[in-house]
């Protein structure tokens, strides 16, 4: 299994705390968001990591180092995550997990997703597990019999069963179908669409199972208030629940010891 991190965006709404850096390089404690994701993936046994980069791509390469693969989105400024994922389609073979680079999450969540018996599955923070109220900004998910039936920001909050975390896995067969669905959306001029629009099309044709967060701490960082919540509340909760991130660029054999 490989991982694809979608990290091409600038994150204009975070300029007040991230400055001119892409938001994947926003500092959360002693590491950036994307470094934390890379460490988490490696600690869970995923060594093949691809980052789709765009804004300040050289800075992301410099921070993350040469041990991961990079795919560049040269038109990141007029496209969105769907197009970035489309650029990585040649790496879909044998299945993969895809992550938005602006998510801070407890590593057990990726373990739960990867060990779920389903080939194709999406992490969801069910309403009962999530104290935050859903609004217009959240990517909302509707579930029936354990399967995703709709995913959209436009969904009415009272129709949603929870919020999309931004981490999804696809097996080999599912990955091939997803590639087809993304291609169809791109051919219709949907380069500015979010990647979950393809997950919604996928779920209409093949089961996309919902895996709950079990109340473990996580946050998507879009706004300055999200950032301060991440550093003041979510990161301490992650560490209190048994995971401590190592300092940057540690040898891989030491990363596994980060689980306690």
- Domain holding 131: CATH number? 3.90.550.10
Residue 14's pLDDT band (boundaries 50, 70, 90)? confident
What is the DSSP secondary structure assignment for residue 207, as one 8-state letter? -
Question: Is 248 part of any domain?
Answer: no
**Mind listing the pLDDT tens digit for each residue in 211-258?**
999 999 999 999 999 999 999 999 999 998 765 555 444 333 333 332
User: Is there a domain that residue 34 lies in?
Assistant: yes
The Cα 245–Cα 238 span in angstroms is 10
User: Please, which residues bridge with residue 96 across strands?
Assistant: 2, 170
The pLDDT value given to residue 252: 36
- Per-residue pLDDT tens digits for 38-77: 999 999 999 899 999 999 999 999 999 999 999 999 999 9
What are the backbone angles phi and psi of residue 223, rounded to the nearest 5°?
-125, 160
Integer angstrom CA distances of residue 130 from 101, 120, 165, 187, 247: 21, 23, 11, 36, 30
Domain for residue 253, yes or no?
no
Is 132 within a domain? yes
Helix, strand or coil, per DSSP, at residue 84: helix
* Residue 59 lies in domain: 2-241
Q: Are strands 48-53 and 69-72 parallel, antiparallel or unpaired?
A: parallel
| Structural domain total, the chain | 1
Q: Is 73 a domain residue?
A: yes
For tokens 């680079």, the residue is 101
Whole-model pTM over 0.85? yes
Q: What is the mean pLDDT of residues 78-104?
A: 97
């Amino acid at each position: 299994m490989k991982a694809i991190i979608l990290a091409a965006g600038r994150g204009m709404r975070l300029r007040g705390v991230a400055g001119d850096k892409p938001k994947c390089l926003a500092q959360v404690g002693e590491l950036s968001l994307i470094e934390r994701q890379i460490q988490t993936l490696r600690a869970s046994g995923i060594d093949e990591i691809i980052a789709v980069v765009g804004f300040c791509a050289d800075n992301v390469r410099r921070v993350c180092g040469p041990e991961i693969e990079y795919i560049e989105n040269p038109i990141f400024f007029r496209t969105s995550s769907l197009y970035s994922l489309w650029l990585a389609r040649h790496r879909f073979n044998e299945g993969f997990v895809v992550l938005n680079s602006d998510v801070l999450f407890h590593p057990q969540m990726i373990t739960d997703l990867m060990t779920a018996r389903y080939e194709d599955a999406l992490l969801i923070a069910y309403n009962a597990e999530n104290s935050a109220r859903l609004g217009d900004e959240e990517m909302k998910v509707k579930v029936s019999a354990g399967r995703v039936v709709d995913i959209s920001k436009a969904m009415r909050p009272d129709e949603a069963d929870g919020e999309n975390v931004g981490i999804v896995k696809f097996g080999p067969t599912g990955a091939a179908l997803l590639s087809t669905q993304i291609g169809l959306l791109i051919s219709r001029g949907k380069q500015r669409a979010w990647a979950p629009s393809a997950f919604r099309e996928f779920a209409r044709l093949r089961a996309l199972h919902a895996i709950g967060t079990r109340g473990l701490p996580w946050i998507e960082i879009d706004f300055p208030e999200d950032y301060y919540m991440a550093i003041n509340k979510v990161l301490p909760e992650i560490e209190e629940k048994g995971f401590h991130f190592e300092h940057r660029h540690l040898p891989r054999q030491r990363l596994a010891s980060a689980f306690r």
